[in-house]
């Protein structure tokens, strides 16, 4: 009897345990994405790191030198000059569009006649290609034939050398950057303004607050998260700007507008120093990562919901 009972108990236990089923395999869908990520992102950066550890001139075999290329950066005056130019260009290219874009967003958020058409016209610079923008503005910046100096002469202001003078080349490039990307800031801030609640403004009007006080103590704190997003996007974009600068000045006059991107291009593709250029690329990538982390940290630290 005991053997029969044990057999029945074992059969019942096996019946209680559900049979193991195997679902569909998702690897056929994951592998192509992994191949693309490895081929487009991981491999190029791993290869760049390897090249940065070698002394490699085009036409000769690479020679492993370890951290020698990175140590060379510490005494490279052009590298540090290009770093200063990059940070200055980035700061100006963020601050100017942020101020003008916020003002434009507030203007277009008001009951402006034909504001839909004006918004469409305002965002048109974003649609143009960088090289086309560079060519048009280069003609406008011409000291003899450019329209900008003609406009200055109409209001009695002295003519400027614009991109042809070392003291004005970076502000001139920032002017082009501001013209193109102020609409982006406007769109981001305008989206924030459209989502603001009306109750704080109604309470402020009852308390007798004027328009400036409403903007200073209600609108500005509420749209601050959107402005911070705009700052992050513009900072990263301006930090790696290359096409407009190269098309307009190629880093000149002299090295007055030579940013890290321009210097990297010259080292790698004009002087054919692939190893040293790769080291500059790695340092530049680390700089972008650090700046991005700092901006994201500041965004997380801010009390957005107070």
Q: Using one digit for the tens of pLDDT, what is the confidence trace for 75-85?
A: 999 999 999 99
Does 178 fall in a domain? yes
Question: What was the pLDDT predicted at 302?
Answer: 59
Q: State mean pLDDT over 135-151.
A: 92
Give the chain's mean pLDDT: 86
Residue 186 lies in a domain: yes
Asked if residue 12 belongs to a domain, the reply is no
Distance separating alpha carbons of residues 49 and 51, to the nearest angstrom = 5
Query: Please, what's the b/e burial string for 246-285 (b: 16 or more CB within 10 A of its CB; e: otherwise)?
Result: bbbbebbeebbbbbbbbbbbbbbeeeebbbbbbbbbbbbe
Is 148 inside any structural domain?
no
Does 26 score more than 80 pLDDT?
A: no
Q: Does residue 259 form part of some domain?
A: yes
Confidence of residue 118 (pLDDT cuts 50, 70, 90): confident
For the chain, what is the domain count? Answer: 1
pTM of the model: 0.84
Q: Give the separation between CA 76 and CA 271, rounded to whole angstroms.
A: 15
CATH of the domain at 175: 1.10.3720.10
* 80: its two tokens: 């540090």
- Domain residues for the domain of 269 are 69-135+168-301
Whether residue 255 is contained in a domain is answered as yes
pLDDT of residue 21: 52
């Amino acid at each position: 009897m005991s053997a029969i009972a044990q057999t029945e108990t074992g059969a019942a236990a096996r019946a209680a345990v559900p049979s193991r089923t195997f679902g569909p395999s998702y690897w056929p869908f994951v592998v192509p994405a992994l191949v693309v990520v490895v081929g487009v992102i991981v491999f190029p950066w791993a290869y760049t790191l390897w090249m940065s550890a070698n002394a490699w001139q085009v036409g000769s075999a690479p020679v492993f030198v370890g951290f020698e290329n990175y140590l060379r950066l510490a005494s490279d005056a052009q590298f540090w000059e290009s770093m200063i130019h990059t940070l200055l260009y980035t700061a100006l290219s963020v601050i100017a569009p942020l101020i003008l874009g916020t003002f434009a967003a507030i203007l277009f958020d008001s009951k402006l006649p034909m504001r839909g058409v004006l918004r469409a016209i305002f965002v048109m610079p974003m649609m143009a290609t960088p090289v086309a923008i560079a060519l048009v503005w280069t003609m406008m910046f011409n000291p003899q034939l450019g329209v900008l100096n003609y406009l200055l002469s109409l209001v009695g202001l002295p003519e400027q050398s614009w991109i042809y003078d070392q003291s004005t080349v970076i502000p001139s490039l920032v002017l082009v950057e501001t013209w193109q990307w102020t609409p982006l800031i406007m769109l981001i801030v305008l989206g924030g303004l459209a989502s603001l609640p009306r109750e704080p403004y109604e309470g402020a009007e009852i308390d007798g607050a004027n328009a400036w006080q409403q903007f200073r103590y209600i609108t500005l704190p509420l749209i601050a998260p959107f402005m911070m997003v705009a700052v992050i996007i513009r900072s990263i974009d301006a930090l790696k700007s290359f096409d407009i600068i190269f098309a307009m000045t190629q880093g000149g006059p002299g090295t007055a507008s030579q940013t890290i991107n321009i210097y990297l291009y010259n080292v790698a593709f004009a002087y054919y120093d692939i190893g040293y250029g790769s080291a500059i690329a790695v340092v530049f990538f680390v700089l972008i990562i650090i700046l991005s982390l700092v901006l994201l940290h500041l965004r997380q630290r801010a009390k957005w919901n107070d």
